[in-house]
Amino acid sequence: MGRFVVNRLASVVAVLFAISVLTFLIFQAIPNGDPALRLAGRLATPQQVQDVREQWGFDKPIYEQYGKTMKLILTGKVTSYTQQLNVLDEVRADAPATISLVTGAAVIWLGFGIVFGLLSAISAGRWLDRFLTVLALVGVSTPVFLLGAVMLYYLGYKWHLFPLGGYVKLTDDPWGWFTHLIMPWTALSVLFIGVYSRVLRSTVLDTLGEDYVRAARAKGLTERRVLVKHVLRNSMIPIISLFGLDFAAAIGGGAILTESVFNLHGIGQYAAESISRLDVPPILVITMLGAFAVVILSAVVDVVYALLDPRIRL
Amino acid sequence: MTPDPAPAAAPAAADATDPLLVVDGLSVSFATEEGIVQAVGDVSFTVGRGEIVAIVGESGSGKSVTAMTLMGLTRSPNARFGGTAQLGGHELVGASADELRRVRGAEIAMVFQDPMTSLDPVYRIGDQIVEQILAHEKIPKAAALDRAVALMERVGIPHARERLRSYPHEFSGGMRQRVMIAMALSCSPQLLIADEPTTALDVTVQAQILEQLRTLRDETGAGVILVTHDLGVVADIADRILVMYGGRIVEQGTLDELFYDPQHPYTWGLLGSIPRLDGPLGVRLPAIPGTPPSLLNTPAGCHFRPRCPEAFDRCGEMPPLVARSPGSPGHCDRCWLEPATKRAQRETDGRIGLRTEGTVIA
């Protein structure tokens, strides 16, 4: 267990280093990526641009710039190039929206994914399975921006069932928080429900062929108990690993489309805006945050594995 | 199909007048994309109380399907069943799913071939035994646990109470099979079906497990169906033997009848292919030429005909399973040959076997 923690901490450091270097280099390589030009403003003279460049240290070697930026990030003093606002404060302000969106959507997609996957597997080949298969394929292939736009237009604009986007704090107005998030939750989870139900269907079908499932039936257990206690429990492992990574990616700013379509002002939307401005510090911070979330959640996944399957030792 | 006269002759069913299990005309077929697979056809037999009946045959002979069908484990949308199987007052083949569930594990229990994969890896041994007890009896969990301890001790697992908390992967194969047997016995079943229970185990462990099965039969008086392809196992503990080939019983009788007076050429072949310590060295082990028949669109007549060196015109017609000798009414076979011819033909090199010379290997 101690070795497990040390290993994971070491991998956090390694992954954060690698991902920050890569992100930093990519933005150096992008054409028209010179931040001095944008910082100096549209009508700046070459001299002004040069002054800005020297002032911000953009004329220094790349490794020095990287070191300086990382130092600012780690001390919490990093500011964005364009708005000159503290990036960590911005991320902190955006985090509740993202966490609310992703956590709620995760509950929905895991729940429906498991129910649909299990139903699909036990009715394999019959009409319910076919119906759920088509539904899953439609879900997987419907882009979030289309689904979001359609929902906003009909459910929000035409029929006034739900508010037209935006985020309300849970602490300010719990009901408003809930109604504002119903459509984003749905839009974000549809894709994952499709994927999870398909993955679970195939693992459940594999598990149904296991000897211990036949043996469980031979014990005279009810079919329901066989399915839930023996089949589902043993089929959850691939779902858990998928879930850990998807959840981490969405928390770390991966729900860009959903957040943007519903104007939730979450971390993903912040990332999207920063990318359009080629504003390196926020992008760097959010990328690192995403990587951090993935590494931490994959450690959590390993712990859950060990709980689900006694053969696995940490 | 002639009614099976075997029950009266069952030697080990000492005091039991009624057999425990009566299977009559059992057939199982599966619809596949290539056609109908007739896995089991017209199988009738009985198992008496305290009797060990072995079903012997090679892969694909229908022996496992027969055993599984008694438990309802072959039920699937593409399976068709015929005939009846009566256990006590229960009809097994036509039972509803819920009736069958109550019989499974309580009246009939099964020990499977591979103990390494037949226990759910994620639950403790004790919980898996208790789960079966609680599925059939309304008793407190503590009482069920106590019974599990007693069962584990009975099948020879030391430190039973601590070991109940172990997971399957912490047990060796032989120990897991003991756990499977303990679990099978947990509700005192009348009939125990063991489907190749020793195939996946070491030879030394095999003997222990077989000894265990026999002891339990003696103690509990349960009937046992032992499915196996291993005639060595059969010779150890079976009272009566059914030889299956191509989904049908081709010969049945007591251990002695089958081993010393085999009637069906397939049985001769099986016996002839057992390696012998007293046999000549450096000689190839005899094998039955050809391969087992496909059960898909099987032609009429004796299923063994294509591989049988003794086949003649009449074999195009399916022989009935009847007793051929008045002295042993329980010894039946499906072969048209005259008993005298059989006695003459089954001797090869001074022992029982199937003639191989002149046989075209298909």
Predicted confidence band at B30 (pLDDT cuts at 50, 70, 90)?
very high
Helix axes A280-308, A62-75, angle to 10 degrees: 60
Predicted confidence band at B67 (pLDDT cuts at 50, 70, 90)?
very high
Q: Does A60 touch chain B (CB under 8 A)?
A: no
In degrees, rounded to 5, the angle at the alpha carbon of residue A130 between the alpha carbons of residues A127 and A136 is: 140
On whether both A304 and A259 belong to a single domain, the answer is yes
Mean pLDDT (chain A) is 89
**Domain boundary, last residue among A30, A50, A75:** A75
Predicted confidence band at B244 (pLDDT cuts at 50, 70, 90)?
very high
Percent of chain A predicted with pLDDT > 90: 48
Q: Is the pLDDT of residue B215 over 60?
A: yes
B166 belongs to a structural domain: no
Predicted confidence band at B10 (pLDDT cuts at 50, 70, 90)?
very low
Residue pointed to by tokens 């669109």: B297
Q: Is the pLDDT of residue A81 over 70?
A: yes
Q: Does B131 touch chain A (CB under 8 A)?
A: yes
Closest partner residue to B117 (CB to CB) among A212, A233, A308 is A212
User: What is the pLDDT, as a whole number, of residue B360?
Assistant: 43
Residue pair B150/B210 in contact by the 8 Å Cβ criterion: no
Over residues B139-152, the pLDDT tens digits come to 999 999 999 999 99
Q: Does B105 touch chain A (CB under 8 A)?
A: yes
Over residues A217-243, the pLDDT tens digits come to 999 999 999 999 999 999 998 899 899
B110 CB neighbours in chain A (<8 A) are 215, 218
Q: Does A311 touch chain B (CB under 8 A)?
A: yes
Nearest chain B residue to A235 by CA: give it.
B122
Interface test with B, best of A128, A206, A212, A305 (most B CBs within 10 A): A212
Tell me the mean pLDDT in the region A254-282.
89
User: What is the pLDDT, as a whole number, of residue B212?
Assistant: 86
Q: Does A235 touch chain B (CB under 8 A)?
A: no
On whether both A61 and A113 belong to a single domain, the answer is no
User: What is the pLDDT, as a whole number, of residue B358?
Assistant: 44
On whether both A138 and A255 belong to a single domain, the answer is yes
On whether both A113 and A251 belong to a single domain, the answer is yes
Into how many domains does chain B fold? Answer: 1
For residue B298, what are the domain limits? 265-352
Percent of chain A predicted with pLDDT > 70: 100
How far away is chain B from the Cα of A113, in angstroms, using its nearest Cα? 22
Dihedral sign, Cα of residue A27, residue A32, residue A38, residue A44: positive
Tell me the mean pLDDT in the region A86-97.
92
A314 belongs to a structural domain: no
Residue pair A248/A103 in contact by the 8 Å Cβ criterion: no
How far away is chain B from the Cα of A218, in angstroms, using its nearest Cα? 6
Of B332, B337, B339, B333, nearest to B310 by C-alpha is B337
User: What is the pLDDT, as a whole number, of residue B283?
Assistant: 73
A225 CB neighbours in chain B (<8 A) are 135
Q: Are residues A220 and B135, on separate chains, in Cβ contact within 8 Å?
A: yes
Tell me the mean pLDDT in the region A195-213.
95
Tell me the mean pLDDT in the region B266-272.
89
Over residues B93-104, the pLDDT tens digits come to 989 999 999 999
Interface test with B, best of A217, A219, A224, A304 (most B CBs within 10 A): A219
Tell me the mean pLDDT in the region A283-312.
88
Q: Is the pLDDT of residue B7 over 80?
A: no
Predicted confidence band at B359 (pLDDT cuts at 50, 70, 90)?
very low
Tell me the mean pLDDT in the region A2-21.
88
A97 belongs to a structural domain: yes
CA distance B189 to B242: 22
User: What is the pLDDT, as a whole number, of residue B356?
Assistant: 67
Q: Is B95 left (phi over 0), alpha (psi -120 to 50) or beta?
A: beta
User: What is the pLDDT, as a whole number, of residue B25?
Assistant: 94
Q: What is the 3-state secondary structure (H, E, C) of B201-254?
A: CCHHHHHHHHHHHHHHHHHHCCEEEEEECCHHHHHHHCCEEEEEECCEEEEEEE
**Long-range contacts of B35-41, Cβ-Cβ distance < 8 Å, separation of 24 or more:** B35/B296, B35/B297, B36/B296, B36/B297, B37/B295, B37/B296, B38/B247, B38/B295, B38/B298, B39/B65, B39/B247, B39/B295, B40/B65, B40/B66, B40/B69, B40/B247, B40/B248, B41/B247, B41/B248
On whether both A196 and A299 belong to a single domain, the answer is yes
User: What is the pLDDT, as a whole number, of residue B17?
Assistant: 66
Q: Does A130 touch chain B (CB under 8 A)?
A: no
B346 belongs to a structural domain: yes
On whether both A117 and A262 belong to a single domain, the answer is yes
Helix %, strand %, coil % of chain B (to 5): 35, 20, 45
Of B46, B49, B45, nearest to B14 by C-alpha is B49
On whether both A27 and A158 belong to a single domain, the answer is no
Predicted confidence band at B298 (pLDDT cuts at 50, 70, 90)?
confident
On whether both A174 and A300 belong to a single domain, the answer is yes
**Domain boundary, last residue among A32, A49, A75:** A75
Q: Are residues B132 and A220, on separate chains, in Cβ contact within 8 Å?
A: yes
Give the contacts of A230 (CB within 8 A, at least 6 positions apart).
Answer: A207, A212, A213, A216, A221, B120
B76 belongs to a structural domain: no
A297 belongs to a structural domain: yes
Predicted confidence band at A305 (pLDDT cuts at 50, 70, 90)?
confident
User: What is the pLDDT, as a whole number, of residue B357?
Assistant: 52
Which CATH number goes with the domain that contains A230? Answer: 1.10.3720.10
A80 belongs to a structural domain: no
B324 belongs to a structural domain: yes
B345 belongs to a structural domain: yes
Interface test with A, best of B107, B122, B130 (most A CBs within 10 A): B122
On whether both A70 and A94 belong to a single domain, the answer is no
Tell me the mean pLDDT in the region A245-261.
87
Q: Does A206 touch chain B (CB under 8 A)?
A: no
B280 belongs to a structural domain: yes
How far away is chain A from the Cα of B183, in angstroms, using its nearest Cα? 8
Q: Are residues B131 and A211, on separate chains, in Cβ contact within 8 Å?
A: no
| Cα–Cα separations (whole angstroms), residue B165 to A211, A212, B125 | 22, 18, 6
Predicted confidence band at B154 (pLDDT cuts at 50, 70, 90)?
confident
A313 belongs to a structural domain: no
B131 CB neighbours in chain A (<8 A) are 219, 221, 229
For residue A30, what are the domain limits? 2-75
Dihedral sign, Cα of residue A205, residue A217, residue B68, residue A119: negative
Tell me the mean pLDDT in the region B303-325.
88
How far away is chain B from the Cα of A110, in angstroms, using its nearest Cα? 21
Tell me the mean pLDDT in the region B163-172.
93
User: What is the pLDDT, as a whole number, of residue B8?
Assistant: 42
On whether both A58 and A141 belong to a single domain, the answer is no
On whether both A158 and A250 belong to a single domain, the answer is yes
Into how many domains does chain A fold? Answer: 2
**Domain boundary, last residue among A17, A50, A75:** A75
User: What is the pLDDT, as a whole number, of residue B16?
Assistant: 47
B33 belongs to a structural domain: no
CA distance A140 to A130: 15
Tell me the mean pLDDT in the region B224-253.
91
Q: Are residues B167 and A223, on separate chains, in Cβ contact within 8 Å?
A: no
Tell me the mean pLDDT in the region A272-296.
88
B334 belongs to a structural domain: yes
Q: Does B151 touch chain A (CB under 8 A)?
A: no
